Amino acid sequence: MAAIKSRTSSFSRNVSTVSKTNVPGLKHGPNGTTFLSSGIADLDKILGGGFSLGSLVMIMEDPEAPHHMLLLRNFMSQGLVHKQPLLYASPAKEPRGFLGTLPNPVTSRDEKSRERDAEQEKNLRIAWQYKKYFGEQNQESQKDEKAAEYCNDFDLRKPLDRQTLSGQNISCVSLQESSDLATLHDHCSKLLAQFPRHEGEIISAGRISIQSLCAPQCDYSDKEWHLLRFIRSLKSLLRYSNAVAVVTFPPSLLSPTVLKRWQHLADTLLSVKAVPDEDKELAKLLTGYQDMLGLLNVHKVARFNTQVLHHSDCTISSCFISWESSLSRKLVSYCQNWMMPLYLFCFFIFFHLIFLSFHAEM
Amino acid sequence: MSGLYSSPSHSLLEEALSFGEADDAVYLSSSRPKAALPSGGGGGGGGSGTVVLIEDCVETNGGFILHHLIKRALSPNRPSDVVVFVSFAHPFSHYDRILRKMGCNLSGHRENKRFIYHDMLSMNSPGSVRDGIEATDDLLMTLYGKIQKAVELYSSPEGSKHVTIMIDDISLMEVAVNGLSNHVVDFLHYCYSLTTQFGCSMIILNHEDIYSSLEQLSPLLHLEYLANVVIKAEPLATGLATDVHGQLTVFNKGICRRNGKSKSKIRNFQFRVKENKVEFFYPGSQT
């Protein structure tokens, strides 16, 4: 592990000297990259610090469960907390309504929450046996969080304050509005034009979240090359700007060839899957199976300016990570080594995140 | 890593890309005396007229082979090599940073006109969703024009350089031309004709898994037919490992020009990607 962590080249920049930026919500990473938070502290850790600026994050939806919405909500809320301009597109007729379901950050740590924390500690007894996988980075990032609030905790039961929402630079686009993708493309390029990439200081960053890009209710859902060109164009626009786009899509609606193309176009590729209710084999394997909600796989992590994955967690074989909501309040995770023959064919990075009990309304 | 295996691991890819001078002295050496350099021979820009195809998949990115071959082509012991690089995948800074860590100053080579970079990533982006097919047709024409000009310039008797054309990657080129695979195949054939005409070589990256479920003829088949060397990067068949990042299959068709014999060979080994280099080793030889 230590060998992986240490930098193998004398040319790489010493990260510790440049690890702080003045801009809240942004963090320097290795190889001249900058991270912004996904809104879930543990997902950030797994990805090595968060989503890299300029990356296209794609999430493969589960056709039967809306878990991808959780990731989108946290991603968007985190951006609004940091006052980062946001573009949200969805196939719904009134996409603005989705903003009402964004979770509120947990701000004051009152008595009650401390109590809850204690309880949570107890719940996570097994989880923390695997604390070693986070190691020093955990402590470091905790410090970071306190200093700049790089990543907030979100209370999934409370909707975002109107105060936080008002006066923000949010634009909402309905994917049904137009018959081609040009409108959406214009919106994206308009937002991204605010954050051109220059050498030197980054002042702010933007977030784009597109939900169910190839949803069948849109006119262009069958024009696979149009969609591909849109994604490619979005990807290249992103690469030259300081923003992150999260795009979710239902993979079952794409033909296998096109699906592979989409996966290749993604810089960071995740997928969510619901945990089946009565899976006895899985129940035997997982602690707290009853409370789990879903699995999240990390298939690919953005590799900018490098050919190696820096984060040690990503290079150690397969990890098993689960999310828990302590009394349905927030999403946390733990990491477990996952060396099951069943998954041995799943090569490369294979992380699972499990959403644990989560009673809040979706 | 044990010292025992470190020396063969260094040259495994090199050895697979070319027939060793010892066991096949005729290979390409008649046409190019300079190919007798230790790293010369078949693939990465040493031999004239060779086409190398790199195939990868979602799980294993084959970009590192491309980086390795760029470095090889621009190494100090090949002063007469020029690389024409067409990138659909990453901006220049990405390659620059990676190659700098490998000890190769790409910006410097770009200034010295040894590394000619065509940025197709940013070129096509504005309005590309709107543009019709006519625009995409144009794209490949102009690109070919540029490549041809560069190849003619550097391969001419005054220039007498060896040019390597590199493309990263073909699947994105297909997207850029709106899925007209025929145009891509035509483009590749034009480039191929350059390799035979001027003796330059070609290195192409493509994603194999995109075409695996396709029944009709894919550009990949055309490429595999044209290629002298096919390098396949796959994840480890036995699952994940900390210090093995995947496996390579190198299929070298190795044309033997004398007495009409041809000989091919397949090499199979594993690799580990590091910041400044890639380690190649036979399965089980890594400690």
A 297-316 near B (Cβ less than 8 A) = 299-300, 303-308, 315-316
pLDDT of residue A157: 78
Question: Is residue B153 in some structural domain?
Answer: yes
User: Is the predicted ipTM greater than 0.90, yes or no?
Assistant: no
**Among the ranges A21-25, B62-66, B218-222, B251-255, which has the highest mean pLDDT value?**
B62-66
Question: Is residue A245 in some structural domain?
Answer: yes
Which CATH number belongs to the domain containing residue A42 in this structure?
3.40.50.300
Q: What is the pLDDT along chain A (362 residues), one digit of tens a residue?
A: 344 444 445 555 544 444 445 677 888 888 888 999 998 888 888 888 889 999 999 999 988 888 888 889 999 999 998 889 999 999 988 888 898 888 888 765 543 444 444 445 444 444 444 555 554 444 444 444 444 578 888 877 788 888 778 878 899 999 887 777 888 888 998 999 888 887 667 778 899 999 999 888 888 777 888 899 899 999 999 998 999 999 999 999 999 999 999 999 999 999 888 877 777 777 777 776 766 777 888 888 888 888 887 654 443 323 334 444 433 334 444 443 333 322 322 322 333 333 333 333 33
Mutual angle of helices A224-239 and A182-193, in 10-degree steps: 0
pLDDT of residue B236: 86
Residues 6+ apart with CB under 8 A from B21: B27, B29, B36, B41
How far, in Å, CA of A296 to CA of A277, rounded? 16
The residue written with tokens 């820009």 in the block is B45
Q: Which structure tokens are listed for A90?
A: 């969805």
Phi-psi region of A348 (alpha: psi -120 to 50; beta: other; left: phi over 0): left
Compare all CA atoms of chain B with the CA of A348 and give the residue at the minimum distance: B240
Q: Which structure tokens are listed for A285?
A: 């394997």
Work out the minimum CA distance from A18 to partner chain B, whole angstroms: 18
Which CATH number belongs to the domain containing residue B117 in this structure?
3.40.50.300
How far, in Å, CA of A259 to CA of B285, rounded? 37
pLDDT of residue B207: 93
Nearest Cα to B46, choosing from B252, B247, B184, B224?
A: B252
Q: Calculate the CA A299 to chain-centre distance.
A: 13
| Number of domains chain A is built from | 1
Question: Is residue B287 in some structural domain?
Answer: no
pLDDT of residue A266: 94
Asked if A164 and A81 touch (Cβ cutoff 8 Å), the reply is yes
Q: Which residues of B touch A317 (CB under 8 A)?
A: 239-242
Flag if A306 and B97 touch (Cβ within 8 Å): yes
pLDDT of residue A163: 78
Coil, strand or helix at B272: strand
Residues 6+ apart with CB under 8 A from A275: A282, A289, A292, A293, A294, A295, A354
Q: Which H or E run contains A334?
A: strand A331-337
Q: How many CB atoms lie within 10 A of CB A144?
A: 20
Flag if B210 and A224 touch (Cβ within 8 Å): no
User: How do beta strands A350-355 and B278-281 pair?
Assistant: unpaired
Q: Per DSSP, what are the bridge partners of residue A88?
A: A172, A209
| Number of domains chain B is built from | 1
pLDDT of residue B2: 40
Q: Which residues of A touch B118 (CB under 8 A)?
A: none
Q: Which amino acid is at A203?
A: I
Q: Which amino acid is at B173?
A: M
A 17-46 near B (Cβ less than 8 A) = 31-32
Dihedral of the CA atoms A192, A205, A36, A212 (nearest 10)?
A: -30
pLDDT of residue B199: 87
What is the per-residue pLDDT across B149-197, written as a single tens digit (0 to 9) for each? 999 998 888 778 889 999 998 999 998 888 888 889 999 999 999 988 8
Flag if B59 and A180 touch (Cβ within 8 Å): no
Question: Is residue A11 in some structural domain?
Answer: no
Residue B248 vs residues A29, B11, B211, B225: alpha-carbon distances, Å: 30, 14, 19, 19
pLDDT of residue A267: 93
Q: Which amino acid is at A11?
A: F
User: How do beta strands B278-281 and B265-273 pair?
Assistant: antiparallel
Residue B277 vs residues B10, B190, B209, B272, B274: alpha-carbon distances, Å: 9, 33, 26, 9, 5
pLDDT of residue B33: 35
Supply the range of the domain harboring residue A295: 21-125+139-357
How far, in Å, CA of B206 to CA of B193, rounded? 20
Supply the range of the domain harboring residue B24: 4-281
Dihedral sign computed on CA atoms, order A104, A107, A111, A113 = positive
Q: What are phi and psi of B279, to 5 degrees?
A: -95, 130
User: Whats the size of chain B, residue-wise?
Assistant: 287
pLDDT of residue B53: 94
Nearest Cα to B25, choosing from B48, B14, B41, B11?
A: B41
pLDDT of residue B206: 92
Q: Kindly report which listed range (A232-246, B58-72, B257-271) carries the lowest average pLDDT score.
A: B257-271
Q: DSSP 3-state helix, strand, coil percentages of chain A (rounded to 5)?
A: 40, 25, 40
Question: Is residue B272 in some structural domain?
Answer: yes
How far, in Å, CA of B130 to CA of A180, rounded? 9
B38-69 burial, b at 16+ Cβ within 10 Å, e below that, comes to ebbbbbbbbbbbbbbbbbbbbbbbbbbbbbbb
Residues 6+ apart with CB under 8 A from B197: none
Asked if A211 and A69 touch (Cβ cutoff 8 Å), the reply is yes
pLDDT of residue B40: 38
Q: Kindly report which listed range (A338-347, B37-46, B127-136) carries the lowest average pLDDT score.
A: A338-347
Work out the minimum CA distance from A264 to partner chain B, whole angstroms: 6
What is the per-residue pLDDT across B141-153, written as a single tens digit (0 to 9) for each? 999 999 999 999 9
Flag if B130 and A263 touch (Cβ within 8 Å): no
pLDDT of residue A5: 44
How far, in Å, CA of A68 to CA of A235, rounded? 20
Q: Which structure tokens are listed for B130?
A: 């709107």
Flag if A260 and B209 touch (Cβ within 8 Å): yes
Question: Is residue B286 in some structural domain?
Answer: no
SS (H, E, C) A177-189: CCCCCHHHHHHHH
How far, in Å, CA of A199 to CA of B247, rounded? 37
Question: Is residue B219 in some structural domain?
Answer: yes
Q: Which residues of B touch A347 (CB under 8 A)?
A: 59-60, 235-236, 239-240, 246
Q: Which residues of B touch A4 (CB under 8 A)?
A: 242
Q: Calculate the CA B119 to chain-centre distance.
A: 17
Work out the minimum CA distance from B154 to partner chain A, whole angstroms: 29
What is the per-residue pLDDT across B84-123, written as a single tens digit (0 to 9) for each? 999 999 999 999 999 999 999 999 999 999 999 999 887 6
Q: Which amino acid is at B171?
A: S
pLDDT of residue B102: 92
pLDDT at position B257 over 50: yes
User: How do beta strands A331-337 and B51-56 pair?
Assistant: unpaired
